[in-house]
Amino acid sequence: MAHAASVLDAKGKDLRAASTELKSLLAKEPVVVKNASHLHGLCGGLKRGEITIDGDGGDYLGVVNSGALIKVTGNAGKYVADNMTSGKVIVEGDADYGAGQYCYGGEVVVKGNAGDFTATMNKGATIVIGGDVGDETATYMVGGDVVIVGDAGENLGNYLIRGNVYIGGDWVSLGHNCAVSEVGADDVQRLESLLKQHGATVNAKKFRKIAPLSDKPFYSH
């Protein structure tokens, strides 16, 4: 990082100890956290600040994030940025199962691959995956955008209600209540700016868009 940062070595510390120390350091300056992969739910509910996880993160990193910038230099565990409402989470490596689930807002960027059930029940966040995603991506998504640069597995966009899935590669199968839809000029412009911002050198025009069919796929009258 360009500017000064405190270092917190989380080795041997439990969530309470690490979290208390993190919050007090964050009040002054950005914090680099080392050896944090055993902590699940670190950076939960933070409203501001800049945190770099040096190495791998544990599960539920940045849960209910509401304004902090969280960077992971290694891989993220399961459910990274779970239920975030605002802020940004950037993972340099891969993310395990369920990245960006239940988010209301903010941005999740995974530069590598992401696992199954990525962006499930997303309600408004922008979730960018630089590599491939697993099965069931964007299941029951109610809003927001998901950008997948690589390929997707089975049941992509299953029971999508609102929001869009943009995908640069291929998918094994599409889920229910969604279909391939036309990519408009607005979409391309947004995609280009998002991809550029995250250093992805791919042609936005090659992306396809998956959009929902119905607001009420189960109980119609």
Partner 1 sequence: MSTVGAFCVTLDKDQCINARMPGKCATCVEICPYGVYGLNEENEVVVQNYNACVGCRLCAEFCPENAIRINPAESELVSRFPWTLGTIEEIHHKALTGSYGLRGFGTMGPTPHFDTIVVVPSQLASPSPRDKYREECNMEVVIGEDTCEKPIRLLYPFIFPAMSYGALSREAKLALAIAAAKTGILTNTGEGGVVEEEPYYANGYEKPSRKKKRWEPGGYLAIQWSTGRWGVSADYVDAGDAVEVKIGQGAKPGMGGHLLGDKVTEDIARIRGIPVGSDALSPCRYYDVTEPGDIKKQVGFLRDISNYEKPILMKLGPSRPYDDVKAAALAGVDAISIDGLVGGTGCSPEVVTQGVGIPTIALIGPAVRALKDLGLHRKVKLFALGGMRNGLDAYKAMAMGADGVGFGSAAEIAMGCRGCMACHQGNCPYGITSQNPKMRERLDPEEIGQRLANFINASAEEVKILTMLSGHSDIKELSEEDLRALDVDTAAITGLKLVGYERPLPWWENGRGG
Site for partner 1 in 89-128 (CB under 8 A): 97-98, 101-102, 104, 117, 120-121, 123-124
CB 173 within 8 A of CB 145: no
Considering beta carbons, is residue 18 or 194 the nearer one to partner 1? 18
Q: What's the chain's Rg over C-alpha atoms?
A: 17
**Could you give the residue ranges of the DSSP H alpha helices within the chain?**
15-26, 185-197
CB of 130 to partner 1, least distance (A): 22
Binder among 21, 34, 35, 45 for partner 1 (CB under 8 A): 45
Rounded to whole angstroms, how far apart are CA atoms 8 and 21? 8
142 binds partner 1 (CB under 8 A): yes
Residue 52 DSSP class: E
Rounded to whole angstroms, how far apart are CA atoms 62 and 69? 9
Q: Which of 3, 1, 7, 2 is nearest to 26 (CA)?
A: 7
CB of 106 to partner 1, least distance (A): 11
Residue 205 DSSP class: G
3 binds partner 1 (CB under 8 A): no
**Residues at the contact surface with partner 1, assessed by CB under 8 A:** 15-16, 19, 40-41, 44-47, 59-60, 63-66, 78-79, 82-83, 85, 97-98, 101-102, 104, 117, 120-121, 123-124, 139-140, 142-143, 161-162, 215-216, 218-219
